[in-house]
Homo-oligomer: A and B are copies of this chain.
Amino acid sequence: IYNEQHPFEQPSPGDDKKTLVILGTGWGATSLLKSLKTENYNVIVVSPKNYFLFTPLLPSCTVGTPIRYITRHKKAAVQVLEGECTYIDPVSRTITVEDNSEIRGNVTSATIPFDYLVVAVGAENQTFGIPGVAEHACFLKEIWDAKKIRGRLMDCIETAAFAGQTEDEIQRLLHMVVVGGGPTGVEYAAELHDFITEDLAVWYPDIAGKVKITLVEALPNVLPSFSKQLIEYTESTFKENKINILTKTKVKGVDQKHIVVEDANGQTTEIPYGLLVWATGNTSRAVVRKLMAALPNEQKQRQGKYLASVFNKLAKNEEQKGVKVTDLKPFHYSHYGSLA
């Protein structure tokens, strides 16, 4: 434990080393960093966040590991830049990094050349361009998302308890809507239910009985990528616990107090809500879309070949060190279940 909290001094890797830029501090970037021999490269990590977020626990609580904790335990020094990579130039082999946080210095933008680039920036929340979602919904991706949900949830409850609030408005404020029947949405709806029956019922006995949870999913059932048994178990458990599931229901629009949904028959309904949690999956980030557009088509086709050649080259390096390619064990994937 002492060594964990008191890492050794780190030498600089030396000016002759190639520059390896890693974009991101999430799962991909962090696992690469952990196994990377940093003394062989001039490593620069670029991310708007200075911590690794253990995302599977986000629906229940939030845990972050400072990225410096990982980099300071590497053999050679790693440079960390808190900033957002806004542009990748594959021709000049540079990235543009911007400091978009609250405190800014005189220098807020930097162009950084690289020899190798690892893009591990993850994804953005998918809103399908539905109007009002980005403005009014809460997501479950970052630490501040979880804090925002907690703040709004308690605020809905206190506002419902405000003197003279009308019954209609109390029902609206206490209607918690989760959109997206994947593992994140299902887990969040279940966590919310437990919070209401186990905690809220104790401390807000007048309020807890009035809270309603609705899960909205566009497909015919929740957890579409999971087994039939799990789907049936989830749907029956939710029914028992009075969590309302609306399947085959598409969200058409969102405002501050209502979502408009369309059911299987094409009929639209306006549903009042207090808290809206949006968990419909991911889409690629702008910087990645820009990179894809900047790459010539020919290059995109060559990506597969390129990846193969990288692995071959790596294997060759290993071979030179006395390890045969044939010694590499085949990779078997076995699924131990999902954490979310």
Contact = CB atoms under 8 A, between A and B. Distances in A.
Best-surrounded residue of A72, A105, A169, A203 (most CB of chain B within 10 A): A105
A203 B169 CA distance: 50
Contacts of A155: 82, 101-103
A116 interface: no
Contacts of A170: 105
A9 B66 CA distance: 45
Contact-size category for A: 35 or more
Identical subunits present: 2
Given A66-B203, A202-B6, A105 B162 contact: yes
A231 to B, nearest CB: 33
Interface string A81-125: 111000000000000010101111111101010000000000000
Given A202-B7, A203-B72, A161 B80 contact: yes
A185 interface: no
A150 to B, nearest CB: 12
A82 B165 contact: no
Nearest to A199: B5
Given A105-B170, A107-B163, 20 more contacts: A7-B202, A9-B205, A50-B154, A66-B203, A68-B204, A72-B205, A81-B163, A82-B158, A82-B159, A82-B161, A82-B162, A101-B155, A101-B158, A101-B159, A106-B166, A106-B169, A107-B164, A107-B165, A107-B169, A110-B163
